[in-house]
Amino acid sequence: MRGQSGAFSPVRLGIYGFLLISAAFFLLPLYVMVVTSLKSMPEIREGNLLALPGAPSAAAWIKAWSTACTGLTCNGIQVGFWNSVTILVPSVAVSISVGAVTGYALSLWRPRGAALLFGILMSVAFVPYQVFLFPLVRMFSYVGLNSTLLGIIVIHTIFGLPTMTLIFRNYFASVPIELFKAARVDGAGFWRIFGSIMLPMAVPIIVVAMILQTTGIWNDFIFGLVFAGRENFPMTVQLNNIVNSTQGEREYNVDMAATMLTALVPLAVYFISGRWFVRGIAAGAVKG
């Protein structure tokens, strides 16, 4: 009887009610976007926002991907998708690789000036990046990197490095120091300890870093607009062009389909690696 009464206690019912309301708050916009993307325009004009589509169709998704206009060209959002992939992969790989090495060095080796270097990295991380836009545009134009894929990759790598260094430093600092000292006694050096001991232990935090960087870079708009150039616009900029360059009837189903296509990669990353994300956070990603 005690267990049954506990199962239906007011506190537990209140918690479940709060969770259900929170889930509905976040899932309702997603539901509206999905059902709208599957409706035809005459059905959308009926005004039944929450109604299921009478005759579901993927025509809006196909048009958003292949023939929707982004300004003067009508190649769909696929161009921006592949631009985003081209920007994303090297940016994530380089920023995580460099951040892992610098975080490892600052947590265990403590070279001369390590505290100063870490302070500089963190101060840059908390300065609004809009402050750097104009100087960076001038500098990149001078060296010929503005409006190039290499330039936008360098930008994302630089601005991701402070956060990557912070989370890797905190993670490696939580590793028992005896493990590091034992490896040093056995004659292992900087790279041997990093590659053979620390890196295999850091899989959860690497997944955390990958999720953070993938989400940040894929969803970025301002850097892509300023530094990528017209030929290399990422998916977010192309989505803005699709929504704002419509002439005549505004096709809300195409807009919703293009938005869903833009969000698919971060959603897939979260769903596939969600358990690793929780494990990485618990293992020291936010420890001091």
The tens digit of pLDDT for each residue in 111-126 reads: 777 777 777 777 777 7
**Domain ranges, ordered by start, for the chain:** 2-57, 78-285
| Mean predicted confidence (pLDDT) in 19-44 | 89
Q: Which of 116-120, 161-165, 242-246 has the highest mean pLDDT?
A: 161-165
Percent of the chain with pLDDT over 70: 90
Environment class of 253 (CB within 10 Å of its CB; exposed 0-12, middle 13-18, buried 19+)? buried
In angstroms, the CA 174 to CA 63 distance is 50
In angstroms, the CA 210 to CA 217 distance is 10
- pLDDT-derived band of residue 287, with 50, 70 and 90 as boundaries? very low
24-33, 253-262, 277-286: least confidently modelled range: 277-286
Residue with tokens 């023939």: 67
- pLDDT-derived band of residue 94, with 50, 70 and 90 as boundaries? very high
Residue 160 CB coordination number (10 Å): 23
* Residues present in the chain in total: 288
Residue 70's beta-bridge partner residues?
A: 73
- Name the CATH superfamily, with its identifier, for domain 78-285: MetI-like (1.10.3720.10)
Model pLDDT, residue 8: 65
Residue 75 CB coordination number (10 Å): 14
Model pLDDT, residue 218: 92
Model pLDDT, residue 276: 66
Model pLDDT, residue 208: 86
Where b means 16+ CB within 10 Å and e means fewer, 85-96 reads eebbeebbebbb
25 versus 188: which is more confidently predicted?
Answer: 25
176 versus 4: which is more confidently predicted?
Answer: 176
Residue 272 has pLDDT above 70, yes or no: yes
Contact of 214 with 38, CB cutoff 8 Å? no
Model pLDDT, residue 285: 43
In angstroms, the CA 36 to CA 59 distance is 12
Which tokens in the block code for residue 277? 């994300």
The three state secondary structure string of 100-162 is HHHHHHHHHHCCCCHHHHHHHHHHHHCCCHHHHHHHHHHHHHHHCCCCCHHHHHHHHHHHHHH
Model pLDDT, residue 174: 83
Residue 259 has pLDDT above 70, yes or no: yes
- pLDDT-derived band of residue 1, with 50, 70 and 90 as boundaries? very low
Environment class of 152 (CB within 10 Å of its CB; exposed 0-12, middle 13-18, buried 19+)? buried
Model pLDDT, residue 288: 43
What mean pLDDT is reported for the chain?
83
In angstroms, the CA 196 to CA 206 distance is 15
pLDDT in tens, 119-161: 777 777 777 878 888 888 889 888 888 888 888 999 999 888 8
| Mean predicted confidence (pLDDT) in 61-89 | 88
Residue 58 has pLDDT above 70, yes or no: yes
DSSP-based three-state secondary structure for 1: coil
DSSP-based three-state secondary structure for 265: helix
pLDDT in tens, 204-227: 888 889 888 998 999 999 898 888
Residue 61 has pLDDT above 90, yes or no: yes
Which tokens in the block code for residue 107? 């947590």
Model pLDDT, residue 97: 93
End-to-end Cα distance, the chain: 45
